[in-house]
Amino acid sequence: MRIFDPHIHMTSRTTDDYRAMYASGVRALVEPSFWLGQPRTSPASFFDYFDALLGWEPFRASQYGIAHHCTLALNPKEANDPRCLPVLDELPRYLVKDGVVAVGEIGYDSMTPAEDTALATQLQLAAEHGLPALVHTPHRDKLAGLRRTIDVVRESALPPEHVLLDHLNETTVKEAARSGSWLGFSIYPDTKMDEDRMVAVLKEHGTEKVLVNSAADWGNSDPLKTRKVADAMLAAGFGADDVETVLWHNPVAFYGLSGRLQLDVPAPEALHEGNSVLRGGE
């Protein structure tokens, strides 16, 4: 079984996670830039982080046989901190880089005017750079947040077919599907969607334009949730082709809109900028 996790924050995960993901079939992933928990105090800390998503993390993934790409953006939460806003001015020089397959995660956290501006600005940047956009829908007040998100996408230069609306659930899937965008579901251990609810959504909605991710990060999460959904689909009577549609072909088609997906894992280099996963030893 071939699995593509279209949303996972590997910076927060261990080498054991990379090994376990490979063993369960993960061969490709996309790491969106996001909030690190600890608030950033200057644009420079974003730039070092973006460089890590383009350099160190793909290097680390390649040691474990997994193709790594990223999406870059000013995340919704930190769009509210004036100290972080200059990131928007520097984003264009990052969006031209080969490993970047979308602008993201963008979207709403608390639905503030600052978030409105950052979302509209970054949808425009995506359109200008020929990139799709990964749009996070809010965890609170989900349906209102989704509707406002769809409105902003509709007013933007980016076609809805180049947008992945993420963190959907049973209450938001129908309206999201009507918008023409791709549909992302994050499967968590104890909140939001779980495997069984995901299978129920797939039975009702079908597999078209549906992507499933673990969204694993520094919080309570599980980097093997993609495989667990695949197993739950098979147990519920879906065929292997349906599983491959959701867990491989759909993410390949969405991020392939960038023209930059490289799914052959490069032979691992020994060093990245003088560092190895052996911490300089051996």
Judged by the rule CB under 5 A, the positions of this chain that interact with Zn ion are 34, 215
Nearer to Zn ion, 33 or 242 (CB): 33
Residue 268 Cβ vs Zn ion, minimum distance, rounded to whole Å? 26
Report the C-alpha dihedral over residues 244, 245, 251, 253, rounded to 10 degrees: 130
Q: Assess contact for 227 and 203: CB atoms under 8 A.
A: no
- Could you identify the residue written with the tokens 């549909």? 183
Rg over alpha carbons for the chain, rounded to the nearest Å, is 18
Nearer to Zn ion, 34 or 94 (CB): 34
Residue whose C-alpha is closest to residue 66's, from 260, 244, 262:
262
Residue 163 Cβ vs Zn ion, minimum distance, rounded to whole Å? 16
Residue 107 Cβ vs Zn ion, minimum distance, rounded to whole Å? 10
Nearer to Zn ion, 132 or 242 (CB): 132
Determine the straight-line distance between the first and last CA of the chain, rounded to whole angstroms. 34
Nearer to Zn ion, 71 or 242 (CB): 71
Q: Assess contact for 65 and 265: CB atoms under 8 A.
A: yes
Nearer to Zn ion, 105 or 242 (CB): 105
Residue 279 Cβ vs Zn ion, minimum distance, rounded to whole Å? 27
Residue 116 Cβ vs Zn ion, minimum distance, rounded to whole Å? 20
φ/ψ bin of 18: left (φ > 0), alpha (ψ from -120 to 50), beta (otherwise): alpha
